[in-house]
């Protein structure tokens, strides 16, 4: 990356959610040792089965975290936005990566050595507690998502995915178009359904005037009804 590109990025102290609980020495150490990597759209950032090496913090862009299931069909388990971190589970558990992470669009990531991350985790109680809080929140979200993906009808799952994308990535200037453009396959993988079912259900939502579509752009027309569909499953 050029110096100009780096200068436009939010500095690591503004991106790390736990910067405020680090000691001055820990902050200086991270400042002097972190690395910055830029990934192109669709480039793999980490692979399922590989040894973990770094705690990764998304500085800009969007990434998807997924696992390959039966028939090698991908299941998206998380969609990340700037400021969120990943790669920590395998480091803490001393296991190989359990998921694959791919850049959904051109993305820039701060990398902190796994050894440094573990050292701070072991010696800084405030940092450890903050991380436990975030892990607890992630676990609660994961539990809720598991129930929703396994018990809701296709319409409920797709409505929930659209609302998740809206709530996490926001809307464009028109106040209605979701600010992330997923392929039909990615939307299906995020909703735990086949691509054909996703296409059919999206068409039904359009016919019911719940959404409007222009290529990969999705505009929410009747968010209240989508929320009812999501809630009823």
| CATH assignment at residue 200 | 1.10.10.10
Q: Are residues 11 and 69 in the same domain?
A: yes
Listed in sequence order, the DSSP H helices in the chain are 3-8, 12-15, 24-33, 88-93, 114-123, 125-151, 154-169, 184-191, 195-207, 223-232
- Does 181 lie in the same domain as 70? no
User: What confidence category does residue 77 fall into, taking pLDDT thresholds of 50, 70 and 90?
Assistant: confident
- Distance (Å, rounded) from C-alpha 111 to C-alpha 31? 11
Q: 111: domain CATH number?
A: 2.60.120.10
Query: In the structure, what pLDDT confidence band is assigned to residue 114 with cuts at 50, 70 and 90?
Result: very high
Q: Answer yes or no: is pLDDT of 25 > 90.
A: yes
Q: What is the pLDDT of residues 48-68, one digit of tens each?
A: 999 999 999 999 999 999 988
Question: Is 38 found in the same domain as 117?
Answer: yes
pLDDT band at 117 (very low <50, low <70, confident <90, very high): very high
Closest alpha carbon to 176 in 168, 164, 166 = 166
Share of the chain above pLDDT 90, in %: 74
Residue 2's pLDDT is: 46
Q: Where is the domain boundary, 143, 170, 196? A: 143
Query: What is the rounded CA–CA span in Å between residue 61 and residue 14?
Result: 16
Considering the domain architecture, whether residues 135 and 189 belong to the same structural domain is answered as no
Same domain, 172 and 80: no
User: What residue numbers bound the domain in which 91 lies?
Assistant: 3-143
* Residues 33 and 100 both lie in one domain: yes
pTM, two decimals, is 0.82
Q: What pLDDT score was predicted for residue 135?
A: 86
- Write down the pLDDT at residue 4: 43
Tell me, yes or no, whether 126 and 163 share the same domain: no
In terms of domains, do 88 and 20 share one? yes
Does residue 130 share a domain with residue 176?
no
Query: Same domain, yes or no, for 166 and 122?
Result: no
Nearest in space to 41 (alpha carbons), one of 108, 107, 85: 107
Statement to judge: residues 139 and 180 lie in one domain: no
DSSP class of 216? T
Closest residue by Cα to residue 92 from 128, 45, 44 = 128
195 and 222 assigned to the same domain: yes
Structural domains in the chain (count) = 2
pLDDT at 8 over 90: no
Of 3-7, 64-68, 102-106, 206-210, the least confident: 3-7
Tell me: the pLDDT tens digits for 121-176? 999 999 999 989 988 888 888 887 777 777 789 999 999 999 999 988 899 999 99
Q: Which residues pair with 86 in a beta bridge?
A: 56
- The larger pLDDT score, comparing residue 6 to residue 25, is at 25
179 and 169 Cβ atoms separated by less than 8 Å: yes
103, 124, 143: which is the final residue of a domain? Answer: 143
């Amino acid at each position: 990356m050029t110096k100009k590109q780096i200068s436009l990025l939010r500095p690591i102290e503004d991106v790390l959610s736990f910067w405020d609980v680090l000691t001055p020495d820990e902050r200086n150490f991270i400042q002097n040792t972190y690395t910055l990597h830029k990934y192109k759209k669709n480039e793999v950032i980490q692979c399922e089965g590989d040894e973990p090496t770094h705690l990764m913090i998304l500085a800009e862009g969007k990434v998807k975290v997924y696992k390959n299931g039966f028939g090698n069909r991908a299941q998206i388990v998380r969609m990340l936005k700037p400021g969120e971190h990943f790669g920590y589970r395998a480091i803490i558990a001393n296991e190989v990566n359990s998921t694959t992470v791919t850049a959904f669009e051109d993305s820039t990531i701060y990398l902190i050595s796994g050894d440094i991350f573990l050292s701070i985790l072991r010696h800084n109680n405030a940092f450890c507690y903050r991380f436990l809080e975030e892990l607890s929140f992630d676990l609660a979200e994961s539990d809720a998502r598991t129930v929703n993906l396994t018990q809701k009808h296709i319409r409920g799952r797709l409505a929930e995915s659209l609302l998740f994308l809206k709530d996490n990535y926001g809307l464009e200037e028109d106040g209605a178009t979701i600010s992330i453009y997923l392929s039909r396959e990615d939307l299906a993988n995020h909703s735990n359904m086949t691509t054909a079912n996703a296409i059919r259900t999206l068409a039904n939502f359009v016919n019911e005037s719940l959404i409007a579509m222009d290529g990969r752009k999705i505009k929410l027309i009747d968010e209240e009804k989508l929320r009812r569909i999501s809630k009823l499953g």
